[in-house]
Amino acid sequence: MSTSGAEATVRTRVRIPLRFGDGFSVTAEAVTFHGLADGLEHVAMVFGDPTTGTPLVRPHSECLTGDVFGSARCDCGPQLREAVERISVAGGVLLYLRQEGRGIGLYNKLDAYALQDNGLDTYAANTALGLPEDGRDYTAAAQMLAALGVQKIDLLSNNPDKAEQLRELGVTVRRRVPTGVFATDSNLRYLRAKVDHTGHTITLSSLVS
């Protein structure tokens, strides 16, 4: 696997029992790394042996509001919960990436929320702040997979850009597996923007606008 000449190595492996608010529990191996391109503290949660077969992999961007506080403005928390269960069954890796707000950071994301309250969609709000619509780069994700010995994956994601970037970084993406649809009254406009603007594979036809 090529990652533009940059290599990362495994730093620490430790088993962690996970428990979610609905009672689901499973044990994962948390893996940290040396040499990640962006210098951030990304972590891989490994389930089973990802070097056998084609593992199911989800690059999940950190979302404090959704993952920790259960915010209904996005679908991040439910996607994380779903991903852990599906990967624990199939075998694979959850890449937990420190990319809050599609890479713009927590404070900027909250500033963008304020603009969304005044009518802008999630992408227009970012650009109104002088920030990229989506500032995420998946070089570190590809490095993490390489360090784990993973070269070919099934990608658990609705986002075609993740697949495109990972392929450009040398990861073989056999197929893209969509997540569930976790729509609420509070996040429907957000989900629709992802479908209309960036081609996310989310079926909203049966939901009320």
Whole-number Cα distances in Å, 181 to 3, 77, 114, 155, 190 = 32, 12, 25, 16, 12
pLDDT for 202: 46
What is the amino acid identity at position 83? A
Q: Is the CB of residue 83 less than 8 Å from the CB of residue 49?
A: no
Q: Tell me the pTM.
A: 0.86
Give pLDDT tens digits for 151-194. Answer: 999 999 988 899 999 999 999 999 999 987 655 665 555 555 55
Q: Average pLDDT over the chain, rounded to whole?
A: 88
pLDDT for 3: 45
Token pair 């991040």 is found at: 76
Enumerate the active-site residues. 134, 136
Q: Which residues pair with 43 in a beta bridge?
A: 96
> Rounded CA gap, 95 and 62, in Å?
10
Residue 121: both structure tokens together: 């969609």
Give pLDDT tens digits for 112-147. Answer: 999 999 999 888 999 999 999 899 999 999 999 999
pLDDT for 65: 96
